């Protein structure tokens, strides 16, 4: 802003009528003093914005971050319009307090791809800073009930934006030096950002009320909203298809494992049958040996025969245990 600009040139450049100027009850000298003070603090505002933006860029789901410092001429133009409209907090605005009343001297936009990602970013923002005002969620006509209910549970003040786009707005403060720095953080999808930027460029400079321009901007607004919804739908569809493919792979894997287990069980059953027959032959042979030892026990003392008998009993016991194990397997 050229601080040597005249009031007349300022009014013409910003499409402010004489009636609106008188309704604002502003003085040109006071506005110029505010503009000079704002320009004097540009460096600290830039550094604070850069710090916030770099930190927010690291948050999950944030695609990109944009930031700006409010232009001095746009600042005083906003003050004129707000006071002319009778916005209460602006009525008491002065050089000493304007930087706490105008909450978007520093503006940061965190952009994301899918509309439901705003909740991930919301959690990260609240974890790092405490909003000094209730966050506002501007919604579109037709937003689904679940989305709106989730916004309510998160404590948002839900409103319909006059320009008709979806965006979440926060106001945070920082105080690196003696003066507090108030900044506005807006969270929206890339599609909403694209439309709002074009709307701002076309409508904002002259506050255009041309019916044809407004009609075409409305159509563009609906296209942006439809693209936003389509992005969420495609994301959900891709997730659902991925889950389906995963379930098919898991089912096929389980099927292969079941077939392998059945083959193994059949092999064990065949082996168990053969082993049972061989075990029975061994047991019969051991019994014959025991009978032979018994018939010979008269030729030996009890003390000589006892260790052999104990050993054979253990062998028979172990053989019987093996037989039972094999029979159990064959019954499965």
pLDDT tens, 1-50?
777 889 999 999 988 999 999 999 999 999 999 999 999 999 999 999 99
For residues 247 and 35, which has the higher predicted lDDT (pLDDT)?
A: 35
> How far apart are the C-alpha atoms of 256 and 262, rounded to whole Å?
10
Supply the pTM of this predicted model.
0.65
**Span 7-240: which CATH code?**
3.30.460.10
Run of H or E residues at 185:
strand 181-189
In the block, which residue shows the tokens 């049972």? 276
Instruction: Return the DSSP state at 70.
Output: P
Do 45 and 105 touch, CB atoms closer than 8 A? yes
Whether pLDDT at 327 is above 60 = no
Q: Is 59 helix (H, G, I), strand (E, B) or coil?
A: coil
Is the alpha carbon torsion for 275, 281, 282, 284 positive or negative? positive
For residues 238 and 277, which has the higher predicted lDDT (pLDDT)?
A: 238
> How far apart are the C-alpha atoms of 35 and 315, rounded to whole Å?
105
Q: Look up residue 258 and give its two tokens.
A: 């079941």
Mean pLDDT of 181-185: 93
Within 154-210, residue ranges assigned H as helices are 190-203
Whether pLDDT at 227 is above 90 = no
Rounded CA Rg of the chain: 42
Q: Is 186 helix (H, G, I), strand (E, B) or coil?
A: strand
Do 188 and 224 touch, CB atoms closer than 8 A? no
């Amino acid at each position: 802003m050229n601080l040597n600009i005249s009031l007349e040139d300022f009014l013409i450049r910003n499409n402010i009528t004489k009636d609106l100027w008188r309704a604002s009850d502003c003085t040109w000298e006071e506005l110029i003093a505010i503009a000079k003070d704002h320009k004097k603090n540009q460096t600290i505002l830039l550094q604070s914005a850069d710090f916030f933006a770099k930190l927010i860029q690291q948050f999950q789901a944030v695609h990109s971050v944009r930031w700006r410092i409010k232009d001095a001429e746009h600042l005083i133009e906003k003050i004129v319009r707000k006071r002319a409209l009778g916005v209460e907090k602006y009525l008491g605005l002065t050089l000493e307090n304007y930087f706490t009343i105008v909450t978007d001297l520093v503006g940061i936009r965190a952009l994301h791809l899918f509309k439901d990602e705003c909740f991930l970013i919301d959690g990260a923002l609240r974890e790092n800073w405490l909003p000094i005002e209730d966050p506002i969620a501007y919604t579109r006509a037709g937003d689904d009930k679940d989305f709106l209910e989730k916004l309510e549970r998160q404590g948002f003040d839900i409103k319909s934006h006059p320009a008709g786009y979806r965006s979440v707005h926060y106001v945070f403060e920082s105080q690196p030096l003696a003066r507090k720095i108030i900044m506005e953080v807006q969270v929206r999808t890339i599609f909403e950002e694209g439309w709002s930027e074009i709307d701002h460029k076309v409508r904002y400079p002259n506050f255009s009320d041309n019916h044809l321009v407004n009609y075409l901007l409305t159509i563009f607004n609906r296209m942006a909203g439809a693209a936003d919804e389509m992005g969420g739908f495609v994301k959900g569809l891709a997730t659902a298809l991925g889950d389906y493919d995963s379930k098919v792979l898991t089912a096929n894997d389980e099927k292969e494992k079941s077939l392998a287990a059945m083959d193994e069980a059949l092999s064990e059953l065949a082996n168990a049958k053969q082993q049972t027959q061989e075990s029975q032959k061994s047991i019969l042979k051991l019994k014959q040996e025991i009978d032979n030892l018994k018939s010979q026990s008269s030729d030996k003392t009890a003390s000589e025969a006892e260790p052999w008998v104990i050993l054979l009993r253990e062998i028979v016991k172990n053989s019987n245990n093996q037989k039972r194990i094999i029979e159990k397997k064959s019954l499965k």
